[in-house]
Structure 1
Amino acid sequence: MPALNIDFSDEELAELRETAKARGVTLKSLVREAVTEDLAQRRALAAMTAVLRAFTAEHTTAFDDAFPDDAPTGARRRGAA
């Protein structure tokens, strides 16, 4: 399995070690978990962004019709960039 060396300041490393000890896990597993959780959150955010964009594009006309005073004018009104 590929590995990665990461440099931390003395203070950061001490805090990470304390956290790992308090959780009863190794330093390696603590850091790996933090990174994999961040990656999962980024994937979920990207997926939700795609869903929201598709929903918005599909319902732009209905929103504009329901709230005409707030609708953009000109080319943007009907989805043109």
Structure 2
Amino acid sequence: MPSLNVSFSDEEMEGVRAAAAAEGKSLKQYLHDLGVREMHRKRFVAGATAWADKLRGEFDEAFPEEIPPAQRGDGAAAA
């Protein structure tokens, strides 16, 4: 089974150990789960974005008065 050596500063390691303990996991299990969770999050976001893009035209027809956040006067703060 592949493995990976990862270096942390003393301060980083202290934080990672505390986070693992807070979840009741070993350091190894915590770091494994963190990587897997991030992979799943990225897949979810990509799928949600594709779904939204697919339905954007239908939404725009149903709600023509809605202005996308990027086109609002207050820019990114509106999102």
Quick check: TM above 0.5?
A: yes
**Any unmatched runs of 5+ in structure 2?**
68-79
- Structure 1 unpaired stretches of 5+: 71-81
TM-score when normalising by structure 2: 0.67
**TM-score, normalized by length of structure 1?**
0.66
After the TM superposition, list the runs of 4 or more consecutive aligned residues in structure 1 that deviate by more than 6 angstroms: none
Structure with the greater alpha carbon radius of gyration: 1
Cα-Cα RMSD:
2.3
User: What is the aligned residue count?
Assistant: 66
Larger RCO (CA within 8 A; separation ≥ 6): 1
CA–CA separation in structure 2 for the residues paired with 1:61 and 1:26: 48
Rate the CA distance shift 1:60–1:8 in 2: closer, same or farther, 3 A: same
